[in-house]
Amino acid sequence: MRIIQFREALREAMSEEMRRDPRVFLMGEEVAEYNGAYKVSQGMLDEFGPERVIDTPIAELGFAGIGVGAAMNGLRPIIEFMTFNFSLVAIDQVVNSAAKILPMSAGQYGCPIVFRGPTGNAGQLGAQHSQNFENWYANTPGLKVVVPSNPYDAKGLLKSAIRDDDPVVFMESELMYGDKGEVPESEYLIPIGQAKTVREGTDVTLVSFGKMMKVALQAADEAAKEGISAEVIDLRTVRPIDYAAVVNSVKKTNRLVIIEEAWPLASISTDVAFQVQRMAFDYLDAPILRVNSMDVPLSYAPTLIEAVLPNVKRTMQAIKAVTYRL
């Protein structure tokens, strides 16, 4: 199987869906002439032309609203935010328009739209450009929220998102665009809402998604050196969440650690922990522990970034705590 970059997998997904369906188009800042801020849309303007790969002004609220209106009228827009930090300028269109138009119109108008772009920190970008809003959007009924962790999932999930009749928030990571992985040349789709067990284990379940899957897998490797067998689950989508996959794993391992880049209050890890104790309390042999970013804005200084973000060391401390290997 060929190996391609994360950005190439996203580009293939969009291009294949645009060839398949003339209603699909891409709109956002620098997506056309500049080939995308992160070169995700490189070459797409040449193939599809300026009517389907559309550069916009720096006006997220405006072009998100154009996308919502286009979706309501039968098209299937892909709206790219240069970063989801900037999506806050357009959050009214995402949360109050895209997510609510179907019920508020009594089913007369749908909104098959994808909002996509990078989420989370990307190094020394400062507090305003280093935030995670997966839990914000996942808290909105009417939206689906996807956070892939590798090129294979990115392509299969993005194709499913573009075909979905509901609005989908598709969140990537700047730090993963250059990651490489195996991706088939043949077409495939990955269902939205289906988690994946990426490593089998018996002593503790590690749950994560997106970029933090790297931390989870590295921690599983470190745990194995100390005789701890960790099962690792990639949620892949955080609305809907595949609670059954997590619960079934916890029933086997009896312990759970959740790794998430977002702040701890009202996070995805908060809800996963609640649902597991609700559905599998009698199977737990230790309290559920979470490894989140510290509850502070992310600083510019690299030493402070390292101190704030989830990492392997903090994850190993949690693993040892729940397995009583302190």
Q: Which residues are catalytic?
A: 60, 129
Helices (H), the chain: 6-20, 44-48, 60-72, 91, 101-104, 134-138, 151-163, 213-225, 243-253, 268-280, 302-308, 312-322
In 3-state terms, what secondary structure has residue 146?
strand
10 Å Cβ neighbour count for 244?
Answer: 12
10 Å Cβ neighbour count for 199?
Answer: 16
**Half-sphere exposure of residue 77, counting CA atoms within 13 Å on the CB side?**
25
In 3-state terms, what secondary structure has residue 165?
coil
Burial class (CB in 10 A: 0-12, 13-18, 19+), 136: buried
DSSP letter string over 168-203? EEEEE-GGGTT-EEE--SS-----TT--EEEE--SS
Looking only at the bridges linking them, the beta strands covering 196-199 and 204-208 are unpaired
Give Cα separations from 156 to 13, 26, 35, 183, 194 (angstroms).
7, 18, 22, 9, 12
- Peptide bond between residue 240 and the one before it cis (omega within 30 degrees of 0): yes
